[in-house]
Structure 1
Amino acid sequence: MTKDYIWWKDATIYQIWPASYKDSNNDGVGDIPGIISKLDYIKSLGADIIWLSPMYDSPQDDMGYDISNYNTIYPKYGTMEDMDNLISGCHKREIKLILDLVVNHTSSEHDWFKESKSSRDNSKRDWYVWKPARYDSEGKRHPPNNWKSFFSESAWEYDETTDEYYLHLFAKSQPDLNWENETTRNAIYEYALDFWFKKGIDGFRIDTAGLYSKDQSFADAPIVSPGEELQFCGNSVNNGPRIHEFHKEMFEKVTSKYDVMTVGEVGHCSREDTLKYVSAKEREMSMVFLFDLVSLGYSSTDRYQYDGFSLKDLKDAIVKQCNFIFGTDAWSTMFIENHDQARAVTRFGNTKTLDNTFKSAKLIALMQATLTGTLFIYQGQEIGMTNLPRSWDISEYKDIESNNAYQDLLKTHNISDPENDSRVKRFMDTLALVSRDHARSPVQWTADKHGGFSGTKPWMRVNDNYKEINVESQVGDPNSVFSFYQKCLVLRRQYKDLFVYGDISVLDYENPQLFSYVKQSGTSKAYVVLNFSGEPAKFESSVPGTLRLLNTNVDDFKDDSLSPWEGRVYLVEQL
């Protein structure tokens, strides 16, 4: 492919979840000064950009994705002065900073919505989506359609004051903005984007970027859950009729005026539809997240219906993500963790022992660092943080999605004794594997109480393994997961033509143990072989040329076999 070297293509982006990163004032909640105190640590890892999840003022019903004011800071996270200091502190270290752009919805506490719901003739009434009720033959009131929100409840909430329903694709405290209204869109551009660009930020991760345009017929969703009143709404609201018009307008009116990047959370759609968002000639976004890898094993309509996956499924997902951009003028991403995903080492590696945890965390690092696209790393991933223990009960889970799904299960099946119900046990088994909470537990900085995150009880319990897995024990240790990530990022930068931009060819596709592939750019080649199993695997290179070892996650290895969870990266030198 033709290489167009742009700063955000070659970059490694490090995501921070502010509530759980570092608490500077011992109130149990992470904050912006805590982040500032760790900027040198982030720099030493090798990150080029920080993606900061929502730090705006918010009631925190959905951890800041319910914004009540785009231009003020959530008080527990700090002040606008702290935010200014973070921007300057990043730039001083030659780290760029991007924020979350959450504009499909606001909080119900936002002044815009308070005005909108105050009366039907308020000037901001149509800044949100309001619809009258439907009534059945018996006169019983029902929501305008059968849409089930992404958080397991009706996507409509009745408002007695004006006798209408408002749309909320997520929580009822997150009413959807009406993007059909040009005045609303211009206010979004002014307050949510331009305000922050003028402060010097370097871009946005665009939340739910495919949902802004709703088909104005608001027809019922197809029946995918027979016998249930509410049906999955995703296929009815994603990639709506005007979505590209809106993104082009956002780019032309605001984003194009700055040297910034945007990365869209578009969700599942065809390659053809996804390219419409990120083809350079379309002038909408810089890149998108593709969810094939992180969604392995999930039902397409319910993440808590989990069936697992094979290594071939993982290979398929990787190839699809790497090959997405080839033959196009588009760009993409490579990520395996974020705030909405469980911990990669638990999902894709092995955490039965500490040795296996560290070894498979390094294996995942090897894989990610050699794959095509802009690399994203999530806080704690660089030290091998794992999922929360299965022994924890539902009271330890804080995420609104997890808790709503649990309550929905009890209600749907009329479960009165959850502790002894097999369906609840299966749900908790799945929750322990895929819940968003696993990514949101506090970062484990030290072996001290609360993992060194805070001097007081944190807002969310620290993972029980903080004494064994923490930053302090790994920084400076050449054999640690952290040091291995540093090495991987150095090599990724050194051989960026191969790893960031190169083509991928998978070898031995049907092998149930090994994931091996060649990355190629021009005449340069790298050979990557990864043992994704708990058993030794035979190793015999089928790649012509002399192999020079660049990186491996073991100290000693055998020429003819790979130990469990062992990986190697070779440079192929031509004969």
Structure 2
Amino acid sequence: MKRSTIRLAICLSFFVGTSCKQNQPQTANTLIENATWWKEAIVYQIYPRSFKDSDGDGIGDLKGIIEKLDYIKSLGVTAVWLNPIYTSPNADNGYDVSDYRDIMAEFGTMEDFDNMLEGMHQRDIKLVMDIVVNHSSDEHEWFKQSRSSRDNPYRNYYHWWPAEKGKPPYRYSLFDAKGDAWQYDSITDAFYLHYFAKQQPDLNWSNPKVRQEVYDIMKFWAEKGVDGFRLDAFQFAAKDTTYPKFPDGFEKDFIQYYAMQDGLHSYLKEMNEEVFSKYDVMSVAEGAGRNFEDAHNLVDADRKELNMAYAFEGVDIPKYEGYDLSTMKEIFTKWDQEFAKEGWLSIFLANHDQARMVSRWGNDDPKFRSASTKLLNTFMLSMRGTPYCYYGDELGMTNIDFDSISQYQDIAAINGYQKALSEGEDMELFMEKLNFSSRDNGRTPMQWNETENAGFTSGTPWLPVNENYIDINVDEENSNPKSVLNHFKKMAELRKQNPILIYGSYELVEPEHPTIYAYTRNLDGKLVLVLLNFSEEKSEITLDKKWGNHTVLINNYSGLDYIDKSIKLMPYQAVILNID
């Protein structure tokens, strides 16, 4: 989802099953029946601007991705989710699209895209693309026409409020420095609606012409061979165009008023009929609403809407003040239980709208960074659901340390700073929190080697490279058999070779343990036990008789410390045991 540190707690989900039925016990037969590529996928998210620059302009591009396809294949991932690469003025780094059928010049050409897609498919890697259609750019031709006159054929492609009706009912903007989602436009003496930045006017999905435009765009990419679509911020697409007054303070819980409004399900059913049902594509909507009922209504098989739920409640746990492991266990467990019989989840701990995984969830102190990153990757790749691994997290890349707002590129950070300043906030505290949680932390250039700019570019990178690239880079970790990178590869291979880690049931073990997250995966009488010590201290857990004999499937340390019936785990030790 986009945008701002506020957005970190925005919404609750993004991926669940349309083509499978899971309301039966999971036996070998139902495993075969329910098998589908997007359940078994290991998705690698690439922020193209930051991955690899091929021409020295400081901005990652498609040719850079092509250069690194063998590396991507070597990770063991089976799909790539690519953030927007369409033509855009870059008010929100590509999430403000001005041409949905063309490639941003900074990223390359359509020929480059075709070559990249062909290269991925040659390596059995599927491609999932972002579709940003809650809003467009204000430089899109539709909006240029829409704002030109009140009787223009494109006027109703967006949400307008004529000034003679007075000030429109207040709506909250997640990105605007003033927090107001209505922007006055003098050309036609009217206000237009933007839930995000003022350069991102919201499309009017109640207009069937808008919907057909979007379906045609999706068909254009599906015909090229794209394997899936992520619908950015789509839970906000439906609006009550009578614009009723919302209660004071609604912005503190705006998801209740913005998400899943009347009409959204009919739009998705129509989209499914027009696009998804005609192509072998995965469908993902960012955000699944206000509660579990909303999520199931979006993604359950008989709904014929979407494929997978992407739950943000879990990733919203780590805060500036820290987080409680018991809360993590509770949230990930309840989401798994809710979708144990129907639907399918994603598993992720980071993306382009979050700070770095190990800095938020683990411990980025050099003493613990490697072990804690391995632990987090073990968690993601051993849970039920489709794992989404963000570029650089296979290395243990960390937050960068910015000390001035001038260093930030993210519109959410910049506008948030201006808003905090105007409201008289404690700016020192604001900057401390921003330094921890900013989206720019997760967008610094990929660290390839120890040469200048970490091998990302021969020019000046669009965002600074983290100074720790000398120690944290692909070349260094490739050559070290005990590195975070090589552990990630082993874990990806383990998942692919063991269907129990994909389809097996999940059960929490020792839920009250203060430092160890332990759970089992069970399929057709086979059982594995996952032990994760979320602590920089040694922690002990007692194993009762039911675990019987066991063998170690993977371990981020060289051994296990047994004490009678207990196992003592080292700081951030992660172990998966096969129970005989």
TM-score by length of 1: 0.92
Cα distance in 2 for residues equivalent to 1:287 and 1:567: 27
Question: How many Å apart are 1:534 and its aligned residue?
Answer: 1.1
Corresponding residue of 2:159: 129
- SS of structure 2 residue aligned to 1:382: coil
Is the 8 Å Cα contact of residues 61 and 173 (structure 1) preserved in structure 2?
yes
For residues 358-507 of structure 1, what are the structure 2 equivalents within 5 Å? 358-389=370-401, 391-413=402-424, 423-496=426-499, 498-507=500-509
1:222 aligns with one of 236, 247, 251 = 247
* Residue pairs, 1:321-340, within 5 angstroms: 321-328=335-342, 330-340=343-353
Partner of 2:572: 565
Partner in structure 2 of residue 101 of structure 1: 131
Distance in structure 2 (CA, Å) of the matches to 1:547 and 1:209: 46
1:357 maps onto 2:366 in alignment: no
Q: Give the structure 2 partner of residue 302 of structure 1.
A: none
Structure 1 counterpart of 2:6: none
Q: CA deviation at 1:294?
A: 0.8
Q: CA separation in 1, counterparts of 2:145 and 2:252?
A: 30
Tell me how far apart the structure 2 counterparts of residues 440 and 267 of structure 1 sit (CA, whole Å): 25
Contact 2:318 2:361 in 1 (8 A): no
The reply to whether residue 208 of structure 1 matches residue 233 of structure 2 is yes
| Shift, 1:77, TM fit | 0.2
Deviations 1:75-119 (A, max 9, x none): 010001001101111111111111101111100000000000000
Which residue in 2 is equivalent to 1:62? 92
Partner of 1:419: none
Whether contact under 8 Å (1:62, 1:399) holds in the other structure is: yes
Structure 1 vs Structure 2 CA RMSD = 1.5
| Mapped contact 1:147–1:232 kept (Cα < 8 A) | no
Query: What is the CA–CA distance in structure 1 between the aligned matches of 2:493 and 2:249, rounded to whole Å?
Result: 47
Aligned runs of 1:119-198 on 2, under 5 Å?
119-133=149-163, 142=167, 144-152=168-176, 153-191=179-217, 193-198=218-223
Question: Helix, strand or coil for the counterpart of 1:500?
Answer: helix
Structure 1 equivalent of residue 22 of structure 2: none
Residues in 1 aligned to 2:344 and 2:312: alpha-carbon distance in whole angstroms: 15
Contact 1:268–1:290, Cα closer than 8 Å, also in 2: no
The whole-number CA distance in structure 2 between the counterparts of 1:134 and 1:333 is 47
Structure 2 distance, partners of 1:238, 1:290, is 14
Give distance in 2, aligned partners of 1:218 and 1:11.
41
Residue in 1 that maps onto 2:535: 533
Secondary structure in 2 aligned to 1:148? coil
Q: Say whether the 8 Å CA contact 2:255–2:289 is kept in structure 1.
A: no
Task: Answer yes or no: is the 8 Å Cα contact 2:256–2:290 preserved in 1.
Answer: no
**Aligned residues: percent identity?**
40
Q: Counterpart of 2:272?
A: 251
State the Cα distance separating 1:221 from its structure 2 match: 2.9
* Code of the aligned partner of 1:369: L
Q: Which residue of 2 aligns with 1:510?
A: 512
Correspondence for 1:549: 552
Instruction: Call closer, same or farther: CA 1:231–1:567 in 2, change over 3 Å.
Output: closer
Structure with larger RCO (C-alpha < 8 A, sep 6+): 2
Report the CA distance between 1:317 and its aligned residue: 1.8
Q: Which amino acid aligns with 2:174?
A: F
Task: Give the counterpart of 1:273 among 285, 289, 294.
Answer: 294
Whether the aligned pair in 2 keeps the contact of 1:221 and 1:231 (CA below 8 Å) is no
| Structure 1 partner of 2:334 | 320
User: In the TM superposition, what is the alpha-carbon distance from 1:432 to its structure 2 partner?
Assistant: 2.1
Q: Could you tell which deviates more after superposition, 260-269 or 333-342?
A: 260-269
> Could you tell me how far 1:20 is from its partner in structure 2?
0.3
Residues 231 and 481 (structure 1), Cα distance of their counterparts in 2 relative to 1, 3 Å cut: closer
- The match for 1:28 is 58
Shift of 1:393: 2.0
Partner SS state of residue 571, structure 1: strand
Correspondent of 1:16 among 31, 42, 46: 46
- Provide the C-alpha distance between the structure 1 equivalents of 2:98 and 2:137, rounded to a whole number of angstroms: 5
Contact 1:128 1:166 (C-alpha < 8 Å) held by counterparts: yes
Letter in 1 for 2:187: T
Identify the residue that residue 301 of structure 1 maps to in structure 2.
none
Residues 231, 5 of structure 1: alpha-carbon distance in 2 compared, 3 angstrom cutoff: closer
* AA of the residue aligned to 1:256: S
Q: In structure 1, the residue corresponding to 2:559 is in which secondary structure?
A: coil
Shift in Å, 1:233: 3.9
Other-structure match for 1:236: 257
1:49 matched to 2:41? The reply is: no
1:350-386 Cα shifts (integer Å, max 9, x gaps): 1122x31111000101111110111111110100011
Q: Given the alignment, which residue of 262, 269, 286 partners 2:307?
A: 286
Q: 1:464-486 deviations in whole A, cap 9, x for unaligned?
A: 21111111111142111110000
Structure 2 partner of 1:112: 142
Aligned length: 543
2:59 is matched by which residue type in structure 1? V
Which of these residues, 92, 100, 120, is aligned with residue 90 of structure 1?
120
2:346–2:387: 8 Å Cα contact kept in structure 1?
yes
**Conserved in 1, the CA contact under 8 Å of 2:288 and 2:294?**
no
Provide the rounded CA distance (Å) in 2 between the counterparts of 1:206 and 1:327: 25
Deviation of residue 187 (structure 1)? 1.0
Q: Give TM-score, length-normalised by structure 2.
A: 0.91
**Whole-angstrom CA distance in 1 between matches of 2:578 and 2:182:** 56
Rounded Cα–Cα distance in structure 2 between residues aligned with 1:170 and 1:364: 31
* Distance in 1 (alpha carbons) for counterparts of 2:512 and 2:254: 36
Letter of the 1:294 partner, please give it.
Answer: V
Task: Name the stretch that deviates more: 521-530 or 57-66.
Answer: 521-530
Matched, 1:310 2:324: yes
Which string of whole-angstrom CA distances, capped at 9 and with x for unpartnered residues, describes residues 455-506 of structure 1? 111011111211111111111421111100000011111112x211122111
- Deviations along 1:313-357, one digit per CA (max 9) or x if unpaired, are 1101211232232122x111111111111111111111122x311
